[in-house]
Amino acid sequence: MDISKIPTSGLMFSWLISPDGNGTEIKAGEIHSLVLQESESIWLHLNYANTQVQSWLKSSHQLPDDIVEILQEDVARVRQKTFTKEGSAHLIFFSDFIKEFNEKYADEIVTLWVIRVGNVLITLRPHPVESIDKLRGMISMGRFRPKNIGDIYSYMLDLREDMLHAQANILMDRMDQLEEVIIRGETLPEHETLGRIRIKCNRMRRYFSPELTALNHLTRNKPDWMTDENHHEVLEFSEKLSVLVQELDHLYERAKVLQDEQSAHIAQFNANNLQVLSIMTVIFLPMTLLSGIMGMNMEDLPGLKGSFYEVMFLMIAAGISMFAYLRIKKII
C-alpha cells in the first residue's frame, strides 16, 4: 500500500515494525519518504475526525470500495457485522473506551477501525481511546516490542480485555453493595442507581457481543498476518470475551432482580404507612362524625330551622347511595 499520500495533519502516531522487535517511531515529516522493506510493516494511527483523513480514505484506490463505503457510514452505529474481508484487505470493528484524561476509567464506548492492507496496519478513531493510548505508551517506553501486525492486534485485544474486566469488576462490586443495602432495607438507594447499572451493562454487551463474530471468524480462518502465537492469543481472548459478556448478562439480570426487590421494599413501606393512616382514620372517625353532627347549627340558617332530622336523613341516604355505587362497581 502506498503511504506517501497519507495526510500528516491527521497522523497521530506511526511505528515501523521490524521482525526483530527493534522498531522505531516514524515522524510525520518522514512518512512520505519512507520505503518499507519486504520484511517490515508499519502501523499508522489516524484521526478519523480529520477531514483530510476522510478525503484520503475516499480517494484512496488501494482500499476496496466496500471497505471505503463502510467507513463512510454512520460512525456511532453499533454494527452486527464486525469483520469484512475484501481481497487482501481486512476491516475489523473494534469497540473501545473513550480516553478521559481526568478519570481512571471512562464508561463511554466508541468504535475503532482496524484496517490491514498488505504490510500496513491502519487504526482509525474519532475520539482518543484507552487501548491505543496505553499501547502507544508501552511501545514508546520499550515495554512492548511488536514483531508483526498480529502482535499489535492481539495486544490491543489484551489491553481492552483488562479495561473491560475492570469495568465489570466495578459494576459487580457496586452490585454487591446494593444487594446488602436493599436486603437490609434500612436506607434504599436512589431509584436511578440500578437503572444506570443496567444501562451500562446493556451498552457494553451491545457493543462487545458482536465482536465475538469477528474473533470467531479470525480463529477459524487464520489470516496470513497472524502467527500461530497470535492466533492462540486471539483464541484465548475470544474465550475471555465470551465469559465477560456472560458476566454482563448476569449483572444485567441481577440489577433487574434488585430493582424488583427495591420496588417491593418501597411498596411495603407505602403499605405500612397507609395502614397507619387507615388505623388513625378509623380511630378518629367516630369523634369526627360526632363533632360534625353536634357542631351543626341550623337555627341561624334560613329554611333549615328545626330540620335536624331531615338533614340526618339526607346524610344517611347519601352514605347508602355511595356504598351501593361502590358495590355495583365492585370497588368494595
Range of the domain at 43: 8-265
Q: Dump pLDDT digits (tens) for 131-152.
A: 888 998 899 888 989 999 999 9
| Sheet with 41-47: strands ordered across | 24-25, 11-17, 41-47, 120-125, 109-117, 89-97, 83-86
Domain membership flag for residue 330: yes
The verdict on residue 282 lying in a domain is no
> Average pLDDT for residues 125-129, to the nearest whole number?
86
- With a CB cutoff of 8 Å and minimum separation 6, the contacts of 105 are 97, 130, 163, 166, 167, 170
Query: Do both 211 and 115 map to the same domain?
Result: yes
What's this model's pTM, rounded to 2 decimal places? 0.74
Assign residue 217 the CATH number of its domain.
3.30.460.20
Residues 322 and 231 in one domain: no
Same domain, residue pair 211 and 301:
no
The helix or strand, by DSSP H or E, that contains position 159, with its residue range, turns out to be helix 149-184
Picking from 222, 250, 265, the residue at the C-terminal end of a domain is 265
Predicted pLDDT at 262: 79
For residues 194-201, average pLDDT: 85
- Whether the CB-CB separation of 121 and 146 falls below 8 Å is answered with no
126 and 224 both lie in a single domain: yes
Kindly report, residue by residue over 281-307, the tens digit of the pLDDT.
Answer: 888 888 888 887 777 766 666 666 667
Nearest to 43 by CA among 91, 125, 114, 131: 114
Over the chain, what is the mean pLDDT?
82
Return the SS3 of 129.
Answer: strand
CA-based angle 140:144:146, to the nearest 5?
A: 100
Cα 258 from Cα 183, distance rounded (Å): 9
- 310 shares a domain with 255: no
Instruction: Note whether 229 and 96 are same-domain residues.
Output: yes
Residue 82 grid cell: 464486525
Q: How many domains does the chain have?
A: 2
Helix axes 149-184, 191-208, angle to 10 degrees: 160
Residues 111 and 150 in one domain: yes
pLDDT reported for residue 88: 72
By the 8 A CB rule, do 100 and 133 touch?
Answer: no
Indicate the angle between helix axes 211-220 and 228-294, nearest 10 degrees: 160
pLDDT above 70: residue 184: yes
What integer pLDDT is reported at residue 123 of this predicted model? 92
Q: What is the pLDDT of residues 35-71, one digit of tens each?
A: 778 888 899 999 988 888 888 887 777 677 777 777 7
Residue 274 lies in a domain: no
Q: What is the pLDDT of residues 78-115, one digit of tens each?
A: 555 566 777 678 888 888 888 876 565 566 888 888 88
* Residues 217, 320 share a domain: no
Boundary residue ending a domain (265, 287, 310):
265
